[in-house]
């Protein structure tokens, strides 16, 4: 373990450089968001969701910050993500929420890992082939009809698990399909299905540790149904999920870059691919070395904003693969190398994740997960 820590330090030292694009991760906001949920829902245990590169924030970066916090377990999508976490020294329990091939469940040697069983066929195959103890969370389909055993398969699943000494049912779970809708009709129908299922398992398996149906948006409903844990995704990262409860959440991620060139363009000239923007006056244009490969949504062309200091600078022309042009005419003192905020961690800013999502007709976490993994994540205290 000491050798691994030493090698990581060497790797970090050898990788020193000043990138043109960087992601800043606020440790204070990340931990603060978790504690905000813990304070508001004291009866719940929370499981930070780290799938999809921790919603674009950095799988290992976020895990390292939260590894010593009071959590139920980490949630990832694949066994590969667990391998990365363990290789980086992360010690917390992990639940693989996505589908895992039965042979991979059988062969894994990783400790403190549980697998979500997403179908009856998967459960049958695992029960037939495993020869050592496996921790599982059985998913019940309460109406979303995407994953999970059907209600009429519950009795058979209980029989299979009880008959196999290697299967340890650590949790039972489901997933709300429409929890962020003001109309709670469908959510209430799912709760009814959940409340029929949970007693069947709790009566047959006294050692079940976790019952969880809610992701961030559904946490509100945990106060009126069975559940002692919730999977905390977008709320953890400061994206307000609920129309029912207003928590003091703060965005965790900020993307920064620099001005890479400056030029003055005459009136009646075009900027960018497909000549979609034509200047109406003498215009000072700056280029920034970020584009849709770096996660700047192409739909922000001619309608989005970057920020320099306290000033919003409109995107002009098409967002290119690795370059975006902005109008800096109102900022005569800008110069090469000046800092540019691509994504702000202030909710009210025009270039916050939530406002970018509105401009692009997307959802905030869609914007976040499109930020590529290769961009360096740097943890800042504030």
The catalytic residues are 51, 273
DSSP state, residue 142:
S
Angle separating helix axes 120-129 and 154-163, nearest 10 degrees: 10
Whats the size of the chain, residue-wise?
A: 382
The closest alpha carbon to 242, from 221, 267, 259, belongs to 221
Tokens of 73: 């377990």
Q: Which residues of 322-360 are buried (b: 16+ CB within 10 A; e: fewer)?
A: bbbbbbbbebeebeeebebbbbbbeeebbbbbbbbbebb
CA angle 271, 275, 281 (to 5 degrees): 45
| Edge-to-edge order in the sheet of strand 22-26 | 311-314, 305-308, 339-343, 253-258, 22-26, 377-380
Q: Which residues of 98-108 are buried (b: 16+ CB within 10 A; e: fewer)?
A: eebebeebbeb
The closest alpha carbon to 279, from 288, 287, 289, 270, belongs to 270
Q: Is the dihedral of CA 360, 283, 330, 289 positive or negative?
A: positive
Distance, in Å, from the CA atom of 223 to the CA atom of 304, rounded to the nearest integer, reads: 40
Q: Could you give the 3-state DSSP secondary structure of residue 285?
A: strand
Give me the phi and psi of 278, to 5 degrees please: -125, 125
Is residue 181 within 8 A of residue 190, CB to CB? The reply is no
């Amino acid at each position: 373990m000491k050798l691994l820590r030493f090698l990581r330090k060497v790797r970090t030292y050898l990788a020193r450089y000043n990138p043109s694009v960087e992601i800043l991760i606020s440790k204070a906001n990340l931990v603060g968001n978790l504690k905000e949920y813990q304070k508001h829902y004291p009866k719940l245990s929370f499981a930070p969701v780290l799938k999809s590169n921790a919603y674009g924030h950095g799988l290992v970066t976020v895990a390292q910050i939260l590894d010593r916090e009071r959590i139920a377990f980490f949630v990832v999508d694949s066994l590969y993500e667990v391998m990365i976490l363990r290789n980086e020294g992360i010690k917390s329990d992990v639940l693989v929420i996505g589908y895992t091939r039965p042979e991979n469940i059988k062969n894994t040697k990783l400790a403190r890992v549980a697998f979500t069983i997403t179908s009856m066929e998967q459960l049958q195959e695992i029960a037939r082939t495993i020869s050592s103890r496996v921790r599982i969370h059985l998913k019940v389909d309460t109406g979303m009809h995407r994953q999970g055993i059907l209600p009429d398969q519950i009795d058979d699943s209980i029989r299979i698990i009880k008959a196999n000494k290697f299967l340890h049912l650590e949790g039972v779970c489901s997933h709300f399909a429409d929890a962020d809708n003001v109309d709670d009709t469908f959510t209430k129908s799912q709760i009814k299905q959940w409340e029929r299922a949970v007693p069947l398992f709790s009566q047959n398996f006294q050692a079940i540790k976790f019952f969880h149906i809610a992701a961030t948006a559904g946490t509100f409903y945990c106060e009126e149904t069975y559940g002692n844990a919730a999977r905390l995704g977008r709320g953890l990262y400061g994206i307000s999920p609920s129309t029912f409860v207003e928590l003091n959440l703060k965005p965790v991620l900020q993307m920064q870059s620099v001005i890479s060139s400056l030029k003055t363009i005459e009136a009646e000239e075009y900027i960018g691919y497909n000549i979609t923007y034509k200047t109406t006056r003498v215009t000072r244009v700056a280029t920034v070395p970020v584009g849709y490969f770096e996660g700047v949504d192409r739909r922000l062309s001619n309608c989005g904003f970057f920020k320099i200091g306290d000033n919003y600078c409109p995107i002009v022309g098409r967002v290119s693969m690795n370059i975006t042009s902005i109008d800096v005419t109102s900022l005569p003192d800008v110069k090469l190398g000046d800092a540019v905020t691509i994504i702000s961690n202030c909710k009210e800013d025009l270039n916050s994740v939530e406002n970018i999502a509105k401009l692009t007709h997307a959802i905030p976490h869609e914007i976040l997960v499109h930020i590529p993994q290769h961009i360096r994540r740097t943890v800042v205290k504030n």
